[in-house]
Structure 1
Amino acid sequence: MKLFRFGGPGQEKPGALDKDGIRRDLSSVIDDIAGAALSREAIARLAALDLSGFPVVPDSERLGACVGAVGNFIGVGLNYADHAVEAGLPIPTEPILFNKAPSCIGGPNDDIILPRGSTKTDWEVELALVIGEPASYVEEADVPEIIAGYCICNDVSERAFQNERGGQWMKGKGCPTFGPLGPWLVTPDEIADVQNLGLWLSVNGQEMQNGTTGTMIFGVYQLVSHISQFMILEPGDVITTGTPPGVGFGMKPPLYLKAGDVIELGVGGLGTQHQRVVQPIDHADDGG
């Protein structure tokens, strides 16, 4: 299935694509694509529905993040060998983990707002996964049983905040709008091989990234098992699994986002995203 959420920010409703790719409103049967609705049993019940009788969601409706009520938003750094090389950093011997603030999550086509003081905001197309079952110390072989689905993440990153301000990477990873997710949450049965998906990203029509999940250092199942050794994973938690080469800070000279830029990105079988980069709103100008 391809699940989605639609409506204004904070007011999203659940939906699914029917067999003809028509968007259908599921709000009469579930409250949200979140929590218990992500379990194997709950998704199986949705998959058994005849969606043809559900209301059509107009294409004009905004798409929200494809999962709601996210508790933990976990990132993985330097997880593609060729990306580590472009960053001039050694290939990790075990996964590098960091947090993205759940408050940074947005819809796949929402604007990306440059943070105040930003000089080095960058892009990262990534494969993300959503947890569907509680898990702790899960074995790698059992990981498929706890994944509700996969989606696209643009792991937007402010490099000066991330690398030049001391402390942990999260400073440059969790700014508002820095976590677009979607458009679809695609259930695992639709993905033939999660380690053979193409990823691409362009800025203003120029291709910047073009890679494959086949060059991950740590595969998806390995990552989930590893992370579960350090925390309890809960339904709705998101793990975004790293980016291939072609990010702005790896270019010579580096290239960063500016207001007016347009980003397009996609992952094979998971759809595409489209974002416009805008300046922050200065509330001092409007009395706010």
Structure 2
Amino acid sequence: MKLARFRSGNPGGTGAGAVRVGRVDGDTITDLTDLVGDSLRAVLSDLSERAEEIKAHEGETFALADVTLEAPIDTPQKYLAIGMNYAEHAKEAAADGIPTPKNQFWFNKQVSCINAPNGDVVRPAVSDKLDYEAELGVVIGKECKNVTRENAASVIAGYLVTNDFSVRDWLQKRSPTFTLGKSFDTHGPIGPWLTTADEIADPHNLRIRLSVNGEERQNDLTNDMIYDIFDQIEELSTVMTLNPGDIIATGTPKGIGAPKGQFLAPGDVVETEIEGLGTLRNTVVSSDA
């Protein structure tokens, strides 16, 4: 199942323009708001129990082309991301002077950075070193702590596409942690919808691609991860309670812009696609746009 948050009609208005939750079927979206409410995050903890009911619901239907998609997970408590977790990317980072971590290397993206799947991404006035990172996102479906690797799949609600936009000079030079360079407003587009875990046979064998203005920059399989998704959930849940709606970004493949000095400029269109999950399409704009 593919579940989204969306607006129909005038996104700035009320009524038809209010945020709704819907089920995506091909090129249409069926309104589920009268069944589940307008918060997809609130549904996650009992999503598996309600799956058949949600699949069968017959609400108002819209063409996908006629709606505005919003970030599918509303107000998550945490957005956690792992660094240098693809083997080939770790090599390109090392060549650029960033050592490969000996353990899982985690940082926060502040949740205020979250953006819609087709939202504009602002290049901040304080930097011209805006970079992209295509990543597979995991969404937690159940409150959990001390999850073993063997049980990790049971706490996953589903998957989505993320782009971990990064301001490189604030990331690696301005601050001793990654948080500031990873958390500028608009730098966390997610979506285009949540694909439930039962639809993805193997999340570690998905094609992940990114292009800038139609030029391919990243193209790899998720099987290049050093620490797979289940390792990541075990590690994180050893430290903290994970909650429904928490987002985990699982690392980016080789091909980021920094090693070649290919930073993003206003007007650039960045498309991030993961097999079976959909595509983000984000236009870079200047901070005074």
TM-score by length of 1: 0.92
Deviation for aligned residue 1:21? 4.7
User: How far apart, CA to CA, are the structure 1 residues paired with 2:139 and 2:146?
Assistant: 17
**Cα distance between partner residues in 2 of 1:138 and 1:124:** 28
* Rounded Cα–Cα distance in structure 2 between residues aligned with 1:50 and 1:230: 35
Which residue matches 1:4? Answer: 4
In structure 2, the CA distance between the partners of 1:215 and 1:153, relative to structure 1 (3 Å rule), is same
Taking a change above 3 Å as real, the CA distance of residues 14 and 96 of structure 1, as seen in their structure-2 partners, is same
Q: Are 1:124 and 2:130 an aligned pair?
A: no
What residue in structure 2 maps to residue 213 of structure 1? 222
CA contact (8 A) 2:70 2:117 kept: yes
**1:204 is aligned with what amino acid?**
N
The Cα shift of 1:166 comes to 2.4
Residue 217 and residue 50 in structure 1: after superposition, are their counterparts in 2 closer, same or farther (change >3 A)? closer
Preserved CA contact (<8 Å) 1:34 1:235? no
Given candidates 97, 109, 121, the residue that maps to 1:100 is: 109
Structure 1 residues 43, 13: closer, same or farther in 2, change over 3 A? farther
Q: Deviations over 1:68-110 (max 9, x none)?
A: 1211000110000100110114433221100001111011111
Asked whether the equivalents of residues 24 and 51 of structure 1 are also in contact (C-alpha less than 8 Å), the reply is: no
1:98-133 residue CA offsets vs partner (Å, 9 max, x unmatched): 000111101111111111212200000000011110
Secondary structure (helix, strand or coil) at the match of 2:180 reads helix
Kindly, what percent of the aligned residue pairs are identical? 39
Taking a change above 3 Å as real, the CA distance of residues 46 and 119 of structure 1, as seen in their structure-2 partners, is same
Residues 49-60 of structure 1: pairs in structure 2 closer than 5 A? 49=54, 51=56, 53-58=58-63, 59-60=65-66
Q: Is 2:40–2:74's contact at 8 Å kept on the other side of the alignment?
A: yes
Contact 1:36 1:42 in 2 (8 A): no
User: More displaced, 264-273 or 49-58?
Assistant: 49-58
8 Å CA contact 1:126, 1:243 repeated in 2: yes
Answering whether residue 236 of structure 2 is matched by residue 231 of structure 1, we say: no
In the alignment, is residue 181 of structure 1 matched against residue 181 of structure 2?
Answer: no
Paired residues of 1:81 and 1:91 also in contact (CA < 8 A) = no
Give the counterpart letter for 1:31 in structure 2: G
RMSD: 1.7
1:256 alignment partner AA: F
1:263 paired residue number: 270
| Equivalence for 1:196 | 205
The corresponding residue for 2:75 is 69
Contact 1:37 1:43 in 2 (8 A): no
Instruction: Supply the distance in 2 between the matched residues of 1:194 and 1:60 (Cα, whole angstroms).
Output: 30
Q: 1:50 to 1:96 in 2, by over 3 A?
A: closer
Where 2:66 maps in the other structure, the secondary structure is coil
TM, length-normalised to structure 2: 0.91
Greater percentage in strand? 2
- The superposition leaves residues 35-54 of structure 1 with CA deviations (integer Å, 9 ceiling, x where unpaired) of 44002x33441433454621
Alignment gaps of 5+ in structure 1: 283-288
Q: 1:42 aligns with which of 42, 47, 60?
A: 47
Contact 1:3–1:33 under 8 Å retained in 2: no
Letter of the structure 1 residue corresponding to residue 204 of structure 2:
Q
- The answer (yes or no) to whether the contact 1:103–1:174 under 8 Å persists in 2 is yes
Q: Report the Cα distance in structure 2 between the residues aligned to 1:13 and 1:148, rounded to whole angstroms.
A: 19
1:80 corresponds in structure 2 to 86
Structure-1 residue corresponding to 2:153: 144
Specify the code of the residue in structure 1 equivalent to 2:229. V
Q: Please give the per-residue CA displacement for 1:168-217, whole angstroms capped at 9, x wherever unaligned.
A: 10111011110001002011111011110110000011100001110000
Q: Is the 8 A contact 2:5 2:40 kept in 1?
A: no
Change in Cα spacing, 1:272 to 1:139, as seen in structure 2 (3 Å) is: same
Q: Secondary structure at the match of 2:43?
A: helix
Instruction: Tell me which protein shows more helix as a share of its residues.
Output: 2
Is 2:120 the partner of 1:115?
no
Structure 1 residue 12 displacement after superposition: 2.6
Residue 17 of structure 1 is aligned with which of 4, 24, 33?
24
Go from structure 1 to structure 2 and tell me whether the alpha carbon gap of 1:96 and 1:50 turns closer, same or farther (over 3 Å shift). closer
